[in-house]
Structure 1
Amino acid sequence: MARRSQTRNLQVLDTELSADAVEWCPVSQWHDVLVCGTYQLVKTPNGVDTHSPTPSRVGRLYLYQFRQEAPLTPPLTEIQQIDTPAVLDIKWCHVPVRERPLLGVATASGELQLWRLADTEESRYGLELVSSTELGMERLALSLDWSTGRGDSSEVRVVSSDSAGCVSVLSLGETSLDVLSQWKAHDFEAWISAFSYWDTQLLYSGGDDCKLKGWDLRMGTSCPTFTSKRHSMGVCSIQSNRHREHVLATGSYDEQVLLWDGRNLRQPLSETSLGGGVWRLKWHPSHEHLLLAACMHNDFHILHCQEALEGGGGACPVLASYILHNSLAYGADWSQLILKGSPPCPSHDGVERVGAIMQIGGHLRIQYESPTASFDTSLEDDTGRYIPENEVAPVTHAPESPPPISSSDTSNSLSCLVATCSFYDHMLHVWRWDWTLEESSNAVGEGRLSGADQSGEGQLKLSDRAGEAAEGEL
């Protein structure tokens, strides 16, 4: 027996401004609600003045509703647009607050905004601003996470990180966020911060100083409980596994995904090279071994982490890769909607590549700079020569063995709805991933999507990364 993996595009939308964050609502009654956040550095007639102390950064929130209707009807409907300061991160509270979903937004103005999902006169949803809390002067709020990952609503708190290298912990009051603690955690930008969902007195943070740090609020914040330098570049993604205690996933500009056991942070459980810089990681909402990765210069991938979580070590196999975006892969999230209908039949018209990690060829070198500055990227060969825009780096495919089937997984198939967004081409994609038990062992890993497999909206041309890298600034 083996699993056959297939991805299929459902819809593509233009967000006008550069898209960098996307989140499905995790509250049960509102699983059909999707929010996308955008970020744009406003250019002057002479280009972008990145040396200005207060460059103009604008953003927008898009609110969508997903409907499973007729096959020819686009499933995603835009409900609302809201102009805001540039958005760096968005996260829904995992539990309802006063019986409604609550959205947290980290902005380039250094604020954490709270938006409440409410009903409108048109019998639709709408976001209403509840409060805005400033983290400090002349800083960007870069990330946020809620303490409610396992559905605990007893004490709702938020952790946030910023461009000054600080981490802040805030409690949710009646109508606002109140700062409980703020401290200098990293030497440079603190790209990411996250709760341990199993013990919300424990926090993790990652920064441009290449350090992953742990903090125990019961012991104070003058000194971290641990500091890891295992990542060789800036740490920009962290998420606790809500279904498996002590398990943590981290991603970095060094293109590695590391899995950790929080009881022993000297050595990771697993190390997987994905290429491109791992900007976001999302554990599946109900399957503890599935991990979604947004890999900036190397698209979106779904990892099978079961063997690593059981102590087997080694890299995590890639079950599926979504490569229809034309630009930097930034935002990604799983929906908890149950998809109607059976999995689509496999397509034999297009090219389907079997079970492989897409890796950048050895002659390509990507140099990342701070997204709060110019976010320049250089593409060079081994001799330092620039790779022209019309020359695409070769892709190699590493063979994989079929991933093990969990003894607790009795279903013959798994169908998931995923939303992803990309930066310079300002695109939001909604796609379906089906993982089906089959007799043939040849079918494992057929998750790489080609334009020929798609319906009309999904037939996008893959672009070379060199042309896009010089265009925009985060």
Structure 2
Amino acid sequence: MAWKSRTRSLQVFDTELSADTVEWCPVSPHHNILVCGTYQLQKGTGEEDATPSRTGRLYLFEFRREGPMSPPLTELQRMDTAAILDLKWCHVPLSEQAVLGLAAATGELQLYTLSDGQEGGCSLQSLSSVEVGVDRLALSLDWSTGRMDGSDVRLVCSDSAGCVSVLSLAEGALTVLSQWKAHDFEAWISAFSYWDTQLLYSGGDDCKLKGWDLRVGPSCPTFTSKRHSMGVCSIHSSPHREHILATGSYDEQVLLWDGRNMRQPLSETPMGGGVWRLKWHPSHQHLLLAACMHNDFHILHCQQALEGSGGACPIVASYILHNSLAYGADWSRLSLEEPAPCSPLTAEPKESLAEGGGHVRIQYESPTASFDTSLEDDAGRYIPEGITAPAASVAAGPTLSLDSDSPSLSCLLASCSFYDHMLHAWRWDWTPNAAQQEPDQ
């Protein structure tokens, strides 16, 4: 049987500054709350002001269903901050409040609580902050609570000096428990094993994926993998299946791993773009969301790979309406059993950045690094300067023939893109056992 899959844009929001991270709140009853973080490099204008500054803004939104002509996202708050590299909500309430973690370009890890307002709205209030190091950028963070266990709440943070820090939170105060040099260059990503939170993973610009056991200390990693051929920038432990880990890299590959055997991945899936973020679905164990830099956002179905087939994971849906680097993406836990509103300002593919068509392909990029560009046509062929590219076209995805006993579902997602500073709210409707698959829109 084939699957019927459709993505639909609900709303597009201009964040003004370059957007690189989005997160839906996992804490009930706030599944309709969304945050978005931005990163803007402000270059100095003269010799006396040659040092660039990094500024950002934190947005807070509420998703509402008020009717087909009302945009579903309502902005509740915006807060100017240092440039934001990563955002993560604690998966469980702390002192009966949802808590947001923020990794800042100042080298700080900042915490905010979500408070209910007097008129029914919500707002973020500063709770605590700690500097993980001077002259460095905090690049990522993760909470130990991925399986909704609040008995041992800790955070892990990676930074531009290649260090990994583990922090505790007690009575609203952050404390650094340990910090060590984990990678030769930027440590782009760090993450807990949600099943054994004494185990950590980290990935760096030195192309290495490493494991750490806090019980034996950080003097030596439990493993070092060089299976990725470029910088490792995304790691997410499965909250559904023990030992399962997903990693992504600038090498444009998504690898699935069994943590008991890190010599060889379970599967390798080419994505056509550097994989900046990976997110397992909060309740459907085989679905994996990937933000693929210059190749949009995709949803992978990983069942066969996790059952030992060894093949690449099929892409069951793609969201292609962004016009810039795909960085931030996340699933909402909000139920979409009722029809979701569609904004009258639905997203349409924008004109290419290059006059005459074609795509500006970013050869290497990160929110903190410079980049080189070249112009390509739809088939990936290089277009020399001065040559008019053919008009862009969108091809329908292939029909899939995979059996599944999963029920139909409708998912609410958010994604953001960098240089066009856009936040998109969108939905994915998926019906297994359909007669045929409709192309994504």
| TM-score, normalised with respect to structure 1 | 0.84
The 1:69–1:85 alpha-carbon spacing in structure 2 relative to 1, beyond 3 Å, is same
Alignment match, 1:85: 82
The one-letter code of the counterpart of 2:440 is R
Deviation at 1:403, TM superposition (A): 2.5
Q: Report Cα offsets for 1:303-341 as digits up to 9, x if no partner.
A: 010000111111100001100011110000000000132
Specify which of 262, 266, 289 is matched with residue 292 of structure 1: 289
Q: Report Cα offsets for 1:16-58 as digits up to 9, x if no partner.
A: 11110000000021101000000101134479x8xx5x52000
Q: Are residue 417 (structure 1) and residue 412 (structure 2) matched?
A: yes
Alignment match, 2:267: 270
SS at 1:132's partner residue? strand
Alignment match, 1:432: 427
Equivalent residues in 2 for 1:166-185 (5 A)?
166-185=163-182
CA distance in 2, matches of 1:390, 1:182: 52
The one-letter code of the counterpart of 1:405 is S
CA distance in 2, matches of 1:155, 1:230: 32
Alignment match, 1:159: 156
CA distance in 2, matches of 1:396, 1:340: 30
Q: Are residue 59 (structure 1) and residue 56 (structure 2) matched?
A: yes
The one-letter code of the counterpart of 1:323 is I
Specify which of 379, 389, 392 is matched with residue 391 of structure 1: 389
Specify which of 138, 143, 146 is matched with residue 146 of structure 1: 143
Contact 2:247/2:255 (<8 A) preserved: yes
Q: Are residue 190 (structure 1) and residue 182 (structure 2) matched?
A: no
The 1:138–1:337 alpha-carbon spacing in structure 2 relative to 1, beyond 3 Å, is same
CA distance in 2, matches of 1:197, 1:438: 32
SS at 2:39's partner residue? strand
CA distance in 2, matches of 1:431, 1:394: 21
Deviation at 1:294, TM superposition (A): 0.4
List alignment gaps of at least 5 residues for structure 2: 342-347, 349-358
Deviation at 1:169, TM superposition (A): 0.3
Alignment match, 1:360: none
Q: Report Cα offsets for 1:61-91 as digits up to 9, x if no partner.
A: 0000011221111111000000100000000
Specify which of 445, 448, 460 is matched with residue 440 of structure 2: 448
Alignment match, 1:250: 247
SS at 1:448's partner residue? coil
SS at 1:368's partner residue? coil
Deviation at 1:448, TM superposition (A): 2.4
Q: Are residue 100 (structure 1) and residue 97 (structure 2) matched?
A: yes
- Structure 1 window deviating more from structure 2 (13-22 vs 63-72): it is 63-72
Deviation at 1:384, TM superposition (A): 7.9
Alignment match, 1:404: 403
Q: Are residue 226 (structure 1) and residue 241 (structure 2) matched?
A: no
Contact 1:163/1:372 (<8 A) preserved: no
CA distance in 1, matches of 2:76, 2:339: 28
The one-letter code of the counterpart of 1:404 is D
Contact 2:43/2:52 (<8 A) preserved: no
The 1:159–1:304 alpha-carbon spacing in structure 2 relative to 1, beyond 3 Å, is same
The 1:395–1:30 alpha-carbon spacing in structure 2 relative to 1, beyond 3 Å, is closer
Contact 2:383/2:389 (<8 A) preserved: no
Alignment match, 2:371: 375
The 1:213–1:105 alpha-carbon spacing in structure 2 relative to 1, beyond 3 Å, is same
Deviation at 1:137, TM superposition (A): 0.6
CA distance in 1, matches of 2:337, 2:425: 15
The 1:22–1:402 alpha-carbon spacing in structure 2 relative to 1, beyond 3 Å, is same
CA distance in 2, matches of 1:242, 1:405: 21
Alignment match, 1:468: none
SS at 1:219's partner residue? coil
Deviation at 1:391, TM superposition (A): 3.0
CA distance in 2, matches of 1:439, 1:395: 23
Contact 2:44/2:52 (<8 A) preserved: no
The one-letter code of the counterpart of 2:401 is P
The 1:388–1:400 alpha-carbon spacing in structure 2 relative to 1, beyond 3 Å, is farther
The 1:89–1:14 alpha-carbon spacing in structure 2 relative to 1, beyond 3 Å, is same
SS at 1:81's partner residue? strand
The one-letter code of the counterpart of 1:257 is V
The 1:196–1:13 alpha-carbon spacing in structure 2 relative to 1, beyond 3 Å, is same
The one-letter code of the counterpart of 1:448 is D
Deviation at 1:343, TM superposition (A): 8.7
CA distance in 2, matches of 1:20, 1:168: 22
CA distance in 1, matches of 2:306, 2:333: 23
SS at 1:22's partner residue? strand
| TM-score, normalised with respect to structure 2 | 0.90
What number of residue pairs does the alignment pair up? Answer: 422
CA distance in 1, matches of 2:388, 2:423: 25
The one-letter code of the counterpart of 2:16 is E
CA distance in 2, matches of 1:63, 1:167: 28
Alignment match, 2:345: none
CA distance in 2, matches of 1:59, 1:364: 25
CA distance in 2, matches of 1:120, 1:327: 35
Contact 1:317/1:400 (<8 A) preserved: no
Q: Are residue 112 (structure 1) and residue 109 (structure 2) matched?
A: yes
The 1:5–1:38 alpha-carbon spacing in structure 2 relative to 1, beyond 3 Å, is same
The 1:260–1:343 alpha-carbon spacing in structure 2 relative to 1, beyond 3 Å, is same
Alignment match, 1:460: none
Contact 1:89/1:105 (<8 A) preserved: yes
CA distance in 1, matches of 2:386, 2:431: 41
The 1:438–1:383 alpha-carbon spacing in structure 2 relative to 1, beyond 3 Å, is closer
The 1:68–1:380 alpha-carbon spacing in structure 2 relative to 1, beyond 3 Å, is closer
- Structure 1 window deviating more from structure 2 (369-378 vs 58-67): it is 369-378
Contact 1:64/1:80 (<8 A) preserved: yes
Deviation at 1:372, TM superposition (A): 2.6
SS at 1:230's partner residue? coil
